[in-house]
Structure 1
Amino acid sequence: MGFIAEIHLAHDELPLASTIERQSSVTLRHEYETTTDDRRIQFVSAFDDEYGAIEETLAADPTVSDLDRVATFENRAIYRVVVDTDLQIVPDRCAEYGLFVFTVTSADGGWVVRAHLPDRDALTAFREWCRDRNVSFRVNQLYDSSVSDDRTYFLTERQHEILTIAYYAGYFEVPRGVTQDTLADRLDISDSAVSQRLRRAISELITATLENKCTPAEFG
């Protein structure tokens, strides 16, 4: 039983708040946090094609005292960030109420927490903690946890944008209503970038929606 909630949080002193505001086109995902030598260390993923701008912004963020890129993948970089703020995205006390966090991602100028809550008391405790600290607390969605939790895919903002534009422009129709060149002109990017973003986005959706019981060898 219980509920699954998507909650939007915003405050100038939440971790990486300034970075989220200044780099709104880059999606950040909070991975986990630990404390060592009285320092709060967070591991955060940044989903983008280039990382120079995001690293400059992170370095200038008043809630960040140190950062280091620890891993780089095709369209994702992982940073170890030393956080310099008293506010937490999800307070420790929420664990006492049984709140379990699925994901914490940046969106709409703040953080969006997707979590399972065993009852309304857990949601109330989270809201009151935020209210006492003037953290904006908005429930975007709230539904029964008996609903299947299959939404585990993750698209960057740019991937979501290009899929949406391509779909409504007729790119996936037969025959196609628009070419990659036209999409490239509309987005002011190269034809190669259009192809890469479409393939990555489609691959992410396929990974999340196809049956996991099937292995590539079965289709060889």
Structure 2
Amino acid sequence: MPLIVEFELSTPILREVAVAASQLTVEQVYQLETGATKLVFWATDGCFEAIERALETDRSVDEYTLLEKMAAKRLYSARLTEWGADRLTHPAAAANDIAFLEITVTGDTQVRARVPSRDALFAYRESCRERDVPFRLQRIYHETEPEGGQYGLTDRQQEALLAALEAGYFDVPREATLSSIAERLEISDQALSARLRRGQANLLRNTVVGDDPI
């Protein structure tokens, strides 16, 4: 039975860019006919001038293209250098029939993936180690298991959302920082950011999106 696995990678790919942005969300990874590898990703918030300076200097990026420009986020395509492509773990995932469902970079890289078996997961983890990319397992469950209780929220997502709401994180202007809430919950900023984002997505899917128009 397929598994859903959530894990964190300390990958050097787009590291400088992630520092300049609030969050990177990878939409697609593909290989060109020349053998080069490209990433298509959204950069959210942050100073876009700083993000593009980072794209110029990031060791993993050979060249980039701005694909779409919006008020709070931009879509980029980045061709990886040979050094960056060598550290990409997607080939190892593909070799083990692992499908990446969600990739978010907020310092470290948060991944949600569908994995055919525990043996495949262990083989992928070993491939990460061979590339000197630290792998940290966060959560593993069967695909058929419900992800959470009311509105599809997991206990950790609900805890994070309530803590952020009570602290004034969603107020305008904000009355709390991500770091202060993460410290209170004794987790990293990256883990909190991922929980908030996934929790909000589950709320929308099970409320706004889930309501069929009459």
1:7 positional shift: 1.3
Give yes or no for contact 1:89–1:111 (8 Å, CA) kept in 2: no
What is aligned with 1:122? 120
- The letter for the 2-side match of 1:29 is T
Taking the TM superposition and a 5 Å limit, the aligned residue runs for 1:186-205 are none
1:98 positional shift: 2.1
Give yes or no for contact 1:101–1:113 (8 Å, CA) kept in 2: yes
The reply to whether residue 70 of structure 1 matches residue 59 of structure 2 is: no
1:162 positional shift: 10
SS at match of 2:85: coil
Q: Distance in 1 between matches of 2:11 and 2:210?
A: 39
What is aligned with 1:92? 91
Change (3 A) 1:132 1:186: closer
What is aligned with 1:158? none
SS at match of 1:86: helix
Q: Deviations over 1:49-98 (max 9, x none)?
A: 64222111121111111111101234221101011123344332422322
The reply to whether residue 34 of structure 1 matches residue 30 of structure 2 is: yes
Task: Tell me which of 139, 149, 153 is aligned to 1:141.
Answer: 139
Task: Tell me which of 41, 45, 54 is aligned to 1:44.
Answer: 41
Q: Distance in 1 between matches of 2:128 and 2:16?
A: 19
- The letter for the 1-side match of 2:48 is Y
Structure (1 or 2) with the larger CA radius of gyration: 1
Change (3 A) 1:3 1:54: same
Change (3 A) 1:72 1:208: farther
What is aligned with 1:207? 204
Unaligned runs of 5+ in 2: 154-159, 178-196
What is aligned with 1:191? none
SS at match of 2:86: coil
What is aligned with 1:53? 50
Give yes or no for contact 1:30–1:104 (8 Å, CA) kept in 2: yes
Change (3 A) 1:152 1:50: farther
Q: Distance in 1 between matches of 2:169 and 2:7?
A: 34
Task: Tell me which of 55, 79, 82 is aligned to 1:82.
Answer: 79
- The letter for the 1-side match of 2:140 is L
Q: Deviations over 1:134-177 (max 9, x none)?
A: 21011011122222358999xxxxxxx99854x214799xxxxx
Matched-pair identity in %: 23
User: Cα RMSD over matched residues?
Assistant: 3.3
1:203 positional shift: 8.3
Change (3 A) 1:214 1:33: same
Q: Distance in 2 between matches of 1:144 and 1:34?
A: 28
1:6 positional shift: 1.0
Q: Deviations over 1:85-134 (max 9, x none)?
A: 23344332422322111011113x32111101111111011111011122
Q: How many residues align?
A: 182
SS at match of 1:70: strand
- The letter for the 1-side match of 2:70 is F
Q: Distance in 2 between matches of 1:72 and 1:152?
A: 32
State the TM-score, normalized to the length of structure 2: 0.70
SS at match of 1:135: coil
Give yes or no for contact 2:2–2:114 (8 Å, CA) kept in 1: yes
Give yes or no for contact 2:96–2:124 (8 Å, CA) kept in 1: no
Q: Distance in 2 between matches of 1:123 and 1:64?
A: 28
State the TM-score, normalized to the length of structure 1: 0.68
